[in-house]
Structure 1
């Protein structure tokens, strides 16, 4: 399907083309850009509502600033579709998030306009400050640096650390606070209420605007009057509302709030702010999903809806004749409620991912026992530790990739103190279209080296339920990691009776000859499929489900290694430091000399694509495992 942009958008292949459009036609250009995003995403998929909300801001930034010399940093980056389209990627935009196509996030290797690679929240101010400091050091006085950060990302400690430094670094940078009241789910916490107060009680900002506008009419040079305006507003700050004091106290000159969908106002304001030196913050108010009514009404649902009919709003879902397995995260969300009803010590915590993790179900049914703490992974981990000191059993649900941000807290606040926090790592392994910033590649390796940790991974929904049940038992007195992948499991009838597992105990799924496959977690299903495939060729591997990579089932490993001379390990984590490494260490400690092949995520950055495409690329899908079995069995493998 060919998607044709509007006539103004057709004429824009870079920001210089955009600057040729008269100011009075910028609104029309924005409507064409917004419609193009709707057209492409409805057919090809991707993040949706976030980019619609910053169409005017994106156009204004590239209209006013000399990008890429002036450096623009997007926080998280799922709102940067308009930026990609304006900066030379319009014709390839339909490949966005597809295997071999454009990244769904800004990426330095993709374009000179993507000044900083992003994907996780709250990095933009730090990165932009670093760029501004470098520009100052190099004497590039005319270079401007702008960070665009949402109010959701502003809740993270890193954003405040950066602002704390920016206020005294004496660099020329602008922070644009894109305030739409929502991240993926609605924002929470005191900062949300503070920003709401600024928006609905703009006394201080109105006086600023009045002084600004009045001085602007005086017959004096514009630069001089703007500087005078700022000095006067500084002088009256103590006499009016203190609503801007948070940012001003950090020595960031605060401007706003202004309408983020008024393109003329944005262009005028950005041009004015270019003339004011030092660190500044512009507060704009936008609507996530702007221009598509359904997305404006249900912003969480339309954050990344998949393919849909842009006219009716119908989101296309696969239709099946038989019941299908649920998503692992939904199994978690339903199971924790079952457990909590029987154990009043169970609580749930998530950092800004109640929908993604499915903790939302517990938050709805047990609002006093399940909490969204905002984009604050470090706080989530230590909060859970504090609750655990009081005898509570907290299931702290954090995506594997975001768990990396709380590593110190897990080591220092949880593991050293032997606190039985249950760390549920959603999106473990290769997550697909979001790409390398979101893959959960490293958690096996980075947790396996920490003392006092239990690390588990279920092969299916029943095993996930059993691990969750085991983690809350009084006899389980250590930090307990449960990692599971994004997406569907294996069991349509998943609500099985829960039973305790022996910690550190794996299971033998089948015997065999010569070769044994040792799998960890969901890829065990790929191994099972591979075994069925090669069995037709007269090859019969054994299969062991490791279940716990720490502590290892030593009896099971002795059995497998002493029985089968050839070993294949399979995991959906990095091959450096993961299950395969653990088996090699065990072999070295006990003098085993088996021939071993380690399958998993290779020691390189894996780009985006569908999970199936990425499993195949990394060689641990069913066919990749089957190929490894054939090679170890001495069967000649034909490569097409």
Structure 2
């Protein structure tokens, strides 16, 4: 960094450097971190508001605890940019979320300070609890801290861990970063509870001060200090009418405190870090702190894209020509149209109203739109209950998040044959969010389930047509589509239900045929035209397959290439190979998809397709090899 724009950060290459600073300089460190994040994220887009709100928590944790020996586990990872900045990655921020650059989430392969892979919500307490137990059993003397925020505490996994933590009597500290936000405004009664904790602040302050005084005196034993604390706990029956929810689970509770008072946080952490057993420190923060536009509209600034750091104005995509819409927006608008025609249609999502564009339906039919919070399994079974009693639920969930609800899909929807429509957003390679967010497996894990109809549109018209067909179905459907824009500017067709299991031939060709599914068909068409005399078929449905079309393609004896934006194992390629084996077909077959032997990192979609040999150039090479070898 040039000059003295960040004089304190220039001295911090690790948390050890931070710990050498006097406490009086910590507010200035926090200020520099925020200015640095504003400067970098304005031109290298990422998760902005959450990290801005967690700056003081981050600084305090690395100041008080001996990281990396002490463990900090970040939930989701939206909050962790300040953590990356303090742990030796300052100069890598110009590569944030770029190919081979800094990951947008904690990644143990990137730094020893990143103790656990993050990207999905509510897993931090479970992982930290496991580390705490491991520390105890192996004789390691370390502290373990879980930092959970952005409404991840509402996830069922978090409460499973909380339930287990007290039983395990683990030496675990949980930091609840309560910013009153998820990506959108959080829903559910737990959020209301956190806003109005029944244990009074006065009582918690008294108990904390009692412990702090005894700790500083160091004149009595730990056992007697514990006795005094139990006495202060007994005062609760006189002070308040209801028990604190966390204390009801035998987790010692401290707070709520101002999560932006760095010196207060440092003092509290210093006082409670050596306490034994599970503890929870409740810190109230402002998502987007330090950037007025983000403070005023934290949902819009969760991941804002490019923006002007001085004005807060978002920078729109350049170019005067109209651009195709995002698939998620076509979904939201189409579902709203279908709901206007059928009052039984409802929409469900798991804390992703804006991310899936179910917010469009919410504006028109708020009473028929349900955001159930970070609870994908519940969302699926909730939809099953609705379908069982006559409604037509459309469940909009990201591909990588739907993995968490696999058992619910099988047991609560498929076995009963209920007409639930799963609209799977972010299917395939998603780009810069990387390994935890790619929708690599949905075709593979859903195809074996009996009774599911599985389809993928190649463009916006097809998405609308498939949704219209699904709205009339009497059994469960899956419609998957990617992140980002489609290919049509004139997309608002009159939806026409398509015939189930019917493919469409897009190009004729005698030398080879590409069987593709989803918008990646665009790469197939480019490759076929460049190679020449190569056919392209939009399979449209993975299940049921269009066997008549397959028979027609295989009858020529020409090589077959399958192309899908999914794992190469278990999806379209596997389905075609299985069919060919049953039929005894001798055509040469090459399956193209996401690799089976490794996970895909982050970068643009184009860069990652090129690297994984899923783009038109790679397909041309494969076609030429197959055609030449056949001769």
Common fold: TM-score over 0.5: yes
The answer to whether the aligner puts 1:501 opposite 2:498 as a matched pair is yes
Which residue, out of 546, 567, 572, partners 2:539? 546
Deviation at 1:620, TM superposition (A): 1.6
1:60-81, CA deviations, whole angstroms, 9 ceiling, x for partnerless residues? 0010001111111000012111
Residue number in structure 2 paired with 1:305: 304
Q: Runs in 1 of length 4+ with deviation above 3 angstroms?
A: 1-5, 209-229
Summarize the Cα distance change of 1:320–1:225 in structure 2 as closer, same or farther, 3 Å threshold: farther
Mind listing any 5+ residue stretches in structure 1 that lack a counterpart?
none
**In the alignment, is residue 407 of structure 1 matched against residue 400 of structure 2?**
no
Q: Which residue of 1 aligns with 2:7?
A: 7
The separation in 2 between residues aligned to 1:239 and 1:310, in whole angstroms, is 52
Moved more, 13-22 or 232-241: 232-241
Residue of structure 2 in register with 1:316 after alignment: 315
The residue aligned with 1:26 is: 26
- Which deviates the most, 288-297 or 231-240? 231-240
**Corresponding residue SS for 1:198:** coil
Match of 1:610 in 2: 604
Q: Which residue of 1 aligns with 2:85?
A: 85
Shift of 1:43: 1.7
- Contact 1:216–1:222, Cα closer than 8 Å, also in 2: no
State the 1:3 CA deviation.
9.4
**Residue of structure 2 equivalent to 1:633:** 627
| 1:386-430 Cα shifts (integer Å, max 9, x gaps) | 000011110000000000000000011011110110000000000
User: Normalised by the size of structure 2, how large is the TM-score?
Assistant: 0.97
**1:157 is matched with which residue?**
156
TM superposition shift of 1:201: 5.2
2:261 matched to which residue of 1? 262
Partner of 1:62: 62
Name the CA shift for 1:242/1:402 in 2 (closer, same or farther; >3 Å).
farther
- SS across alignment from 1:572: strand
Among 567, 577, 583, which residue is 2:576 paired with? 583
Mean alpha-carbon deviation: is it higher for 39-48 or for 235-244? 235-244
Residue 591 (structure 2) pairs with residue 598 (structure 1): yes
Structure 2: gaps (5+ residues): none
Specify whether residues 5 and 415 from structure 1 end up closer, same or farther in structure 2 by C-alpha distance, changes over 3 A only.
Answer: farther
RMSD over equivalenced CA pairs, Å? 1.9
Note if contact 1:223-1:275 (Cα within 8 Å) is conserved in structure 2.
no
Change (3 A) 1:297 1:223: farther
Of 343-352 and 302-311, more deviation after overlay is shown by: 302-311
Look up the match of 1:114. Answer: 114
For 2:553, the equivalent position in structure 1 comes to 560
Post-superposition shift, 1:223? 6.5
Is this contact kept in 2: 1:151–1:192, CA < 8 A?
no
> Equivalents in 2 of 1:564, 1:36: separation in Å?
61
Match of residue 521 from structure 2? 524
Residues of 1 paired with 2:37 and 2:225: CA distance? 37
TM-score, length-scaled by structure 1: 0.95
- Match of residue 616 from structure 2: 622
Deviation, structure 1 residue 94: 1.8
Quote the offset at 1:219 in angstroms.
8.3
Q: Report the Cα distance in structure 1 between the residues aligned to 2:556 and 2:445, rounded to whole angstroms.
A: 31
* Rounded Cα–Cα distance in structure 2 between residues aligned with 1:194 and 1:583: 52
TM-aligned CA distance change 1:228 to 1:43, over 3 Å: farther
Deviations 1:432-468 (CA, angstroms, capped at 9, x unpaired): 0010100000000000011111100000000000010
Whole-Å Cα distance in 1 between the matches of residues 190 and 451 of structure 2? 36
Partner of 1:381: 380
Structure 1 residue 207: Cα displacement = 3.8
- The CA deviation at 1:221 is 6.1
The 3 A distance-change label for structure 1 pair 525 and 179 is same
Compared CA separation, residues 511 and 157, structure 1 to 2 (3 A): same
CA gap of 1:199–1:359, structure 2 versus 1, over 3 A, is: farther
User: Which string of whole-angstrom CA distances, capped at 9 and with x for unpartnered residues, describes residues 587-626 of structure 1?
Assistant: 0000101011111101111110011101111112222222
- Which SS does the other structure have where 1:133 is aligned? helix
Matched residue of 1:361: which SS?
helix
Preserved contact between residue 199 and residue 244 of structure 2 (Cα < 8 Å) = no
Aligned residue in 2 for 1:168? 167
C-alpha deviation, 1:333, in angstroms: 0.4
Which deviations, in whole Å up to 9, do the C-alpha atoms of 1:75-105 show, x marking residues without a partner?
Answer: 0012111111111111112212110011111
State the match for 2:45 in structure 1.
Answer: 45
1:144-180 Cα distance to aligned partner (Å, 9 max, x none)? 1000001510111000000000011011110111000
Give CA deviations for 1:223-257 in whole Å, capped at 9, x if unaligned: 68864553232211222235652101111001100
Within 2, Cα distance between the matches of 1:397 and 1:25?
47
Equivalent pair of 1:108/1:115 in contact (CA under 8 Å): yes
- Compared with structure 1, are the counterparts of its residues 225 and 433 closer, same or farther at alpha carbon in structure 2 (3 Å cutoff)? farther
| Match in the other structure for 2:508 | 511
**Structure 1 counterpart of 2:449:** 450
Residues of 1 paired with 2:432 and 2:85: CA distance?
Answer: 19
Most deviating of 416-425 and 191-200: 191-200
The answer to whether the Cα contact below 8 Å between 1:401 and 1:441 also exists between their aligned partners in 2 is: yes
Tell me, in whole angstroms, the C-alpha distance in 2 between the residues paired with 1:222 and 1:268. 22
Question: How many residues are matched?
Answer: 629
Aligned 8 A contact 1:198 1:243 in 2: no
Cα distance in 2, alignment partners of residues 359 and 348 from structure 1: 7
